[in-house]
Structure 1
Amino acid sequence: MKGLSINLATVRQQWGLREAVEACAKHGITAVAPWRDQVAKQGLSESARIIKDNGMQVTGLCRGGMFPAATREGLQAAIDDNLRAIDEAVTLGADCLVLVVGGLPGSSKDITEARGMVADGIAAILPHARANNMPLAIEPLHPMYAADRACVNTLGQALDICEGLGEGVGVAIDVYHVWWDPELFKQIERAGKLGRILAHHICDWLVPTRDLLLDRGMMGDGVIDLKPIRAAIEAAGFNGPQEVEIFSAENWWKKDGNEVLTTCIERFRTVC
């Protein structure tokens, strides 16, 4: 299934890494994006072997980031973890390391300071990423996550950081997080001109949403107009796979994994 990638969070409750990759291969899906905990459970070397043996493109490794910290020691620990994440992404042959940058540290209310810590943290790991040819993909998250998961909340903010840091840093555009942004298409065009689009994640926004983290929708079940976003991203020069990333504790995580993959393929063909 050319053009489709499965973020393995989508089937994390059904399968481990090996089973998920093998199931994707059986369905004709040739790209995946694992999470670091899945890789750790399987073992890094074994995960790389499984991915290679099944002919999979790795559209991204999830995730690095989480830079803001209340202490210097905390920030250094985050930097050290991200250096390890870069090495893991290299071993897996990933197209990029996705960065969920982190929110407000400790009891802080200073989001501007937190964003500065993000830029400083990425700057600290960037030489290692460049030396290993591993692009870093900042993923802006919906503002509802600004305090605890990501203080970078718009594509424009992410691109500002990219421009400040230079080569080797780009963006992962996840429709769940950016579909609402009135500047989305302008910023996609900007990202294309800068050559910064590294990944394109898809799912849908349900109405109502029962859980802001664990109730993402399957494409076509919600309100996101996916095709114009895809068209804009492709017009901006990114033609890599669209990566399905669905966290769904009360729906898709409870279904048979093969049914989930079959539905992903059908929706990719019809609504994306």
Structure 2
Amino acid sequence: MQKIIFIGAGSMAEALIHGWIKKSVVNPKALFISNRSNKERLQELVEAYDVNLMGDTSQLHDADLVILAMKPKDARAAMEVIAPHLGTDTAILSVLAGVSIETIEQYLGSRPIARVMPNTSATIGMSASGIAFNKHVTKVQHALYIQMLEAVGTVIEVEEEKLHAVTALSGSGPAYLYYLVEAFENAGAEFGLSKEVVRELMVQTIAGSAEMLKSGNVEPQTLRKKVTSPGGTTEAGIKALESMSFNETIANCVRSAENRSRELARGE
């Protein structure tokens, strides 16, 4: 693609820019960035990645792809601004939580539109992304979007309705894991372990456990039971989690995030 314009320059936009440039998927000179008002943020990205600033909305006309990456609450106002300036062949890729393809079509017209829910691990090429397409996306565009997202991690095509769940699971998932590590750091401090020591231990534990899950078709339950000796330390910890309704807590976490995605879709 000769010209890709980001509307919005937050953490997800940066994650994609960083990942694509690192993997040489997109030439930095093909990337243009804009946001509503934070000029310092734009300058940071220009200096960090050698990308271009979008001068004004007239530059949208010959864009091959426009990426919607603003805050969901700002989406409708931003789409009203850019709509008159889009070229007839310009495609749209949205990373907005909760904003439906139907809503995007309402504001930007009938054109190729894809909705993707990546996560910030795209920065290091390890995103877990879900993607859905409208009927105007061609086979060539479909293959290109998949290729671009595979360059920054794993991508799975789903029905658009399922993107609410994808958002709640993998889109928000990194934050839950970081929160978990924070909790382990606090727990370790009770026993005199430094934050640095706990973090090193837990990061390697999470990475190793993830590799175990990826290495074969072994169910998480089976792997858990292999670690959990009767009467041992792991069993004591598991029982403490069960006593605090750990499974239901996680389910409530995902339900709340999924529900919030649906609220955003309704403009709430």
The question of a shared fold, defined as TM-score above 0.5 by the shorter chain, is answered with: no
What TM-score do the two structures reach when normalised by structure 1?
0.31
Higher helix share: 2
Higher relative contact order (CA 8 A, sep 6+): 1
**What TM-score do the two structures reach when normalised by structure 2?**
0.31
